[in-house]
Amino acid sequence: MDHYDYIVIGGGVTGLSFANWIEELGDASVLLLEKEASLGGYCRTVKQDGFVWDYSGHFFHFRHQDIERWLLAKMPEEVIHRVNKRALIRVEGVDVDFPFQKNVHQLSKESCLRCLHDLYHADPKREYRTFKEMVRGKLGDSISDLFLIPYNEKLYACDLDLLDAEAMGRFFPSTNFAETLANSQRPDNRSYNSQFIYPEGGAVAFVNGLASGLKNTEVALDEAAIAIDESSKSVRTEKRQISYGQLVSTMPLPSLLQQCGRNVGSYSWNRVLVFNLGFDSKGLEDVHWMYFPDKSLPFYRVGFYDNILGGDRMSLYVEIGLPSGVGALDVPSHLDSVMVGLKREGIVTSQSLISQHSVVLDPAYVHMTMESERTSATVRDELSCQGIHSVGRYGRWTYCSIEDNIVESKQLANLLEAAREG
Ligand SMILES: Cc1cc2nc3c(=O)[nH]c(=O)nc-3n(C[C@H](O)[C@H](O)[C@H](O)COP(=O)(O)OP(=O)(O)OC[C@H]3O[C@@H](n4cnc5c(N)ncnc54)[C@H](O)[C@@H]3O)c2cc1C
C-alpha cells in the first residue's frame, strides 16, 4: 500500500493552500485527491462566448495583507481588478445602499420613520437563541421585515429560527440607533468586503496560482475518497488503498463522518442554483450586485461581472436559494422565471440573452444551528485525535471567506509539521 505523510481530500482553495503551506515548511510527502476532473472546488470559472463566470461570484477580500501578498505572488502575470464595492438592496422599489440597516434614510419617509422608531425602541439583549430573534431584538421589526428576514429566508431556504444567533458571525453588519442616524449625515458603509480584488481570468486564476506553487505534491484528479479506515489510517478510492500519517479532509463534514463509518448526526444546508447569463449589450452601470428580499422574485441576489471587469456586455450571475434534497431541478423553468423577474425589475430591458450556464452548489450555505455548532466541534476534536482534520468551509461546517480558508490551512500546516518534526 502506498503511504504519504499527508493525504489531502479536496482540491479547492483549502486543500490547495494546505499543500502549498506544507511544501513551504519541509519535505513531507503529500497526495491530494480531487474527485472532479479539475481543481478549484467552488472557485472554478467558466469561460464561454467571451464571458468569464465563476460558479458564483467569488470576490477576494483580505484582512491579512501577508495572505493577500502570498496569494498574489503566485500569479504575477494575472491582471487584478481592485474594486470598491457598490451593493444595493431593492426594497419597495427603492435601491438602498448596503448595509440596509444603516441606510434606511434612503427609503420612503414613512418606511424610514418606522425603521427608526423600531430601532430606537429595540432593547438588545446580551444573548439570543436564534438568528431571527437576534435580528428582531437588535434591529427592530421594521428593518427585519423589510429586508433581513425575507432576504435570509430566501437565501437559506429555511425558517431562521433554526439558525444559531451567530450563524453569520462577523459577516453580519450590526448597527444601533445612533449609528444609523449618523450614517444619514456622514455615510460610512464599510463592511468586510467593501474592497475586493478579482482577476481578469476569474476566480480560477487564484486556483491556478495555488496549483502552480505545488512542486512535490502528487495531485490525483478524478479520484474520489470513498471510505476511510481510522484504525489502519488508510483511505480507499475507486482505484486503490493508500495509507497516511495525517489526513486533511475538506469534503463536507457529514460526508466525512459517513466515510469513517461514524454516526452522521443531523446537519442541514441549502443549495444554490446559479445562472450565469450573458447579454448582447450593456445594462445597469455603477453597481456590482443587488439583493432582492421580495419573495415574488425567484432570486435573492444578482451580480454584474461586466461592472467588475469593465465589459461592454451585461454579464450576470443570478442566485436562487433552495432547500437541499434529492431530485433533479427543472432548470429551464427556473431560467424562465429568472428572466421574467429580471425584466420586471428593469435589469433586462432591450438586451438579448446570448449565452447561458447554470450550476448547483450543494451544499452552499450550511445551516449553523446550536446543535450543529456543538456536535461539529466535538466530532472534529475526536477526529483530530485520530489524525483526521476536517477543515475548510464545509469541513468545519461554517460560514467563512476564502481568506479564512487560507489562514486556517496555514495554521493547521504549522501545527502538524511542528508535531511531525518534534
Ligand atoms: C454562493 C457562494 C458565494 C460565495 N462567494 C464568496 C466570495 O465572494 N468571497 C469569498 O471569500 N468566499 C465566498 N464563498 C465561500 C467560498 O466559496 C468558500 O469559502 C471556498 O470556496 C471553500 O473552499 P474549500 O476548499 O474549503 O471547499 P470547496 O471549494 O467545496 O472544495 C472542496 C473540494 O473537495 C472535493 N471533494 C469533495 N468530496 C471529495 C471526495 N470524497 N474525494 C475527493 N475530493 C472531494 C470537491 O470536489 C472540491 O473540489 C462563497 C460561497 C458560496 C456558496
Residues 175 and 309 in one domain: no
Q: Is the pLDDT of residue 174 over 90?
A: no
Cell of 288: 456590482
The domain spanning residue 210 has which CATH number?
3.50.50.60
CA–CA separation, 189 vs 180, rounded Å?
Answer: 10
Q: Is the pLDDT of residue 150 over 80?
A: yes
Cell of 291: 439583493
Number of structural domains the chain divides into: 3
pLDDT value at position 422? Answer: 77
Q: How far is the CA of 76 from the centre of ligand 1 (A)?
A: 24
Q: Is the pLDDT of residue 326 over 80?
A: no
Long-range contacts of 416-420 (CB under 8 A, 24+ apart): 416/6, 416/22, 416/246, 416/389, 417/22, 417/25, 417/26, 417/28, 420/5, 420/28, 420/245, 420/246
Ligand 1 atom nearest 10 alpha carbon: 34
Q: Which of 155, 185, 215 represents a domain boundary (last residue)?
A: 185
pLDDT value at position 260? Answer: 98
Ligand 1 atom nearest 364 alpha carbon: 53
Q: How far is the CA of 41 from the centre of ligand 1 (A)?
A: 5
Q: For 176-224, list the strands marked E by DSSP.
A: 195-199, 218-220
Determine, yes or no, domain membership for 16.
Answer: yes
Residues 68 and 15 in one domain: yes
Q: For a substitution probing ligand 1, which of 8, 31, 42 has the most ligand atoms within 8 Å of its CB?
A: 42
Averaged pLDDT, 130-150: 97
Range of the domain at 278: 270-361
Q: Is the pLDDT of residue 267 over 80?
A: yes
Q: Is the pLDDT of residue 3 over 90?
A: yes
Protein residue whose Cα sits closest to atom 35 of ligand 1? 10
Protein residue whose Cα sits closest to atom 50 of ligand 1? 58
Protein residue whose Cα sits closest to atom 52 of ligand 1? 364
The domain spanning residue 156 has which CATH number?
1.10.3110
Q: How far is the CA of 251 from the centre of ligand 1 (A)?
A: 9
Residues 392 and 247 in one domain: yes
- Using pLDDT thresholds of 50, 70 and 90, give the confidence band for residue 152: very high
Ligand 1 atom nearest 59 alpha carbon: 8
| Cβ–Cβ < 8 Å for 53, 40 | no
Q: Is the pLDDT of residue 328 over 90?
A: no
pLDDT value at position 194? Answer: 83
Average pLDDT, the chain: 96
Determine, yes or no, domain membership for 192.
Answer: no
Residues 9 and 68 in one domain: yes
Determine, yes or no, domain membership for 194.
Answer: no
Residues 277 and 390 in one domain: no
pLDDT value at position 192? Answer: 73
- Using pLDDT thresholds of 50, 70 and 90, give the confidence band for residue 224: very high
Determine, yes or no, domain membership for 134.
Answer: yes
pLDDT value at position 32? Answer: 98
Q: For a substitution probing ligand 1, which of 18, 58, 318, 368 has the most ligand atoms within 8 Å of its CB?
A: 58
Residues 228 and 173 in one domain: no
Say what percent of the chain tops pLDDT 70: 100
pLDDT value at position 421? Answer: 80
Residues 37 and 97 in one domain: no
Please provide the DSSP assignment of 287-316 as one string.
-SEEE---TTSS-SEEEEHHHHHT-SS-EE
Residues 101 and 173 in one domain: yes
Determine, yes or no, domain membership for 63.
Answer: yes
What is the SS3 assignment for 186? coil
pLDDT value at position 241? Answer: 98
Residues 112 and 174 in one domain: yes
Determine, yes or no, domain membership for 224.
Answer: yes
Please state the pTM of the whole predicted model.
0.96
| Cβ–Cβ < 8 Å for 38, 203 | no
Residues 260 and 374 in one domain: yes
Averaged pLDDT, 378-397: 98
Q: Is the pLDDT of residue 362 over 80?
A: yes
Q: For a substitution probing ligand 1, which of 9, 43, 393, 400 has the most ligand atoms within 8 Å of its CB?
A: 393
Lining residues, ligand 1, CB within 6 Å: 9-15, 33-36, 41-43, 56-60, 224-225, 250-251, 272, 361, 364, 392-394, 400-402, 405
Determine, yes or no, domain membership for 193.
Answer: no
CA–CA separation, 399 vs 270, rounded Å?
Answer: 12
pLDDT value at position 355? Answer: 98
pLDDT value at position 126? Answer: 82
Q: Which residues of 298-319 are buried (b: 16+ CB within 10 A; e: fewer)?
A: bbbbbbbbbbbbebebbbbbbb
Q: How far is CA 134 from CA 121, 123, 138, in A?
A: 15, 11, 6
Q: Which of 330, 361, 392 represents a domain boundary (last residue)?
A: 361
Residue the block writes with cell 495554521? 411
pLDDT value at position 176? Answer: 92
Determine, yes or no, domain membership for 190.
Answer: no
Protein residue whose Cα sits closest to atom 15 of ligand 1? 401
Q: How far is the CA of 86 from the centre of ligand 1 (A)?
A: 25
Residues 134 and 180 in one domain: yes
The domain spanning residue 351 has which CATH number?
3.30.70
Residues 91 and 177 in one domain: yes
